Amino acid sequence: MDHIELSLTQSLDHCIKCNICTSACPVAAVTDAFPGPKYVGPQAQRFRHEGQPVPDASVDYCSGCRVCNQVCPTGVKIAELNARARAQIVAERGLPLRNWLVARAGLVGRMSCGPHAPLLNFGLRLSPARWAVEKVIGIHRKAPLPASSTYTFRAWFRKHRAPATARRQVAFFHGCATNFYEPHVGKAAIAVLEHNGFEVLLPKQQCCGLPLISNGDFKAATSAHEANVQALVSYARQGIPIVGTSTSCTLTLKEEAPEILALHSEDVQAVAAGTYDIFEFLRSLAERGELKTDFRPIERHLPYHQPCQYRAHRLGSPAMDVLSLIPGLVLEESHAECCGIAGTYGLKKEKYQIGMDVGAKLFDMVKRSGSDLALCDSETCRWQITHATGVTSKHPIEILAEAYGLEL
């Protein structure tokens, strides 16, 4: 029993059955398929034992948004309990092909990114193709799939010429989305970091493993994390911060992989302790008075959604804090628990509608704002917001780059 297992088991006894988690759970609010975090978490855990069949599979409808952990007044690690319970189901029953596929963001990205991307993107916009994908694989025909990029972020970075004035170094963890779908997010991050006097290094890396974790493929997730740790640990040991724009990737490096997969080596801990979400990093610069504030005013009023995976860092709202330094810019917080996509959850045929219902509050808020632009730190959430509202969504780092007047 590792220390997480022990704390998970012990935290069962901290549950006082107040139902605050169930009341806050965005999934239980919209469907009977998920009886709520209290039931599938601390309550059902008492019926789960190694070597015995899983008594109830409804935990598979947990989206992993971690709102339950956030609101629990007694510190029960509900989301971790659920993730491990799901892995036990996968271990018993095997991983469906669809989940195997959507869990492999890196593989799918690598195959779809490149000069052939426009053709692929065009193909995936055709409804017969999506119908076939739904029938054969089980990805909902309406689910928001990202458009692949014609070039990777890494290819761009290789040709990128950094300014010679850098005084300090950071290592950039771009994640699959920035590399294969949204290189512009990475470019904005590099521009902002370089503007603030950093030399940006690009370590070798692969998928952080979060989609593997949330689909219960712990074996593959473990090898992904071990490979990343091997590639990143030297930076961490030299005190070079590892900074990422995908808030769920950084959360995985910091906590989800170590805790859920029970990986606790010194290297794993060093990488966890050395990893920062980009706005967490920029906020800490601002707190020390080291962030440049040569902003052009942006006279805009924009809706901002902090992803559930960002709130799970338990850092407050770093992007709000930093963007509030831009003169003229007013952000309206969504106060929505989750957009519903939860990584790969809302792509699935049987969960698409749940995801859309979960996100309804957010979509209403974005539409009511009348804005043609929404901000959100996580890529799958941005795709979901745009899919549901038709409103363009950007990473907050793009607005920050714009405020600095940086050419991308």
- By CB under 8 A, name the binding residues for another protein: 18-20, 22-24, 28-29, 32, 35-36, 39, 69-75, 251, 254-255, 258, 272-273, 275, 283, 286-287, 311-317, 320-321, 333, 335
Distance in Å, CB of 153 to another protein, minimum: 25
Distance in Å, CB of 124 to another protein, minimum: 32
Can you read off the two tokens belonging to residue 384? 């979901």
Which residue, 313 or 382, is less far from another protein as judged by CB?
313
Which residue, 33 or 136, is less far from another protein as judged by CB?
33
Can you read off the two tokens belonging to residue 179? 């590399």
d(CA 69, CA 11): 12
Can you read off the two tokens belonging to residue 282? 């920029």
Distance in Å, CB of 131 to another protein, minimum: 26
d(CA 313, CA 310): 5
Which amino acid, one-letter code, is at 359?
G
Which residue, 67 or 385, is less far from another protein as judged by CB?
67
Which residue, 135 or 314, is less far from another protein as judged by CB?
314
Beta strand 242-244 pairing with 275-277: parallel
Distance in Å, CB of 316 to another protein, minimum: 4
Distance in Å, CB of 170 to another protein, minimum: 17
d(CA 30, CA 324): 34
In 164-320, where do the E strands start and end? 168-173, 198-201, 242-244, 275-277, 301-305
The region, left, alpha or beta by phi > 0 then psi within -120 to 50, assigned to residue 197 is left
Which residue, 28 or 143, is less far from another protein as judged by CB?
28
Which residue, 78 or 105, is less far from another protein as judged by CB?
78
Distance in Å, CB of 22 to another protein, minimum: 6
Distance in Å, CB of 71 to another protein, minimum: 5
For residue 107, the SS3 value is: helix
Which residue, 275 or 386, is less far from another protein as judged by CB?
275
DSSP letter for 139, please: B
d(CA 218, CA 230): 18
DSSP letter for 145, please: P
Which residue, 32 or 299, is less far from another protein as judged by CB?
32
Which residue, 150 or 269, is less far from another protein as judged by CB?
269
Distance in Å, CB of 301 to another protein, minimum: 15
Please provide residue 392's backbone torsions phi and psi, each rounded to the nearest 5 degrees. Answer: -60, 140
d(CA 49, CA 217): 19
For 185, 235, 382, the CA distances from 204, given in Å and listed in that order, are 18, 11, 26
d(CA 259, CA 280): 21
For residue 169, the SS3 value is: strand
Q: Are 82 and 59 in contact (CB under 8 A)?
A: yes
Distance in Å, CB of 350 to another protein, minimum: 15
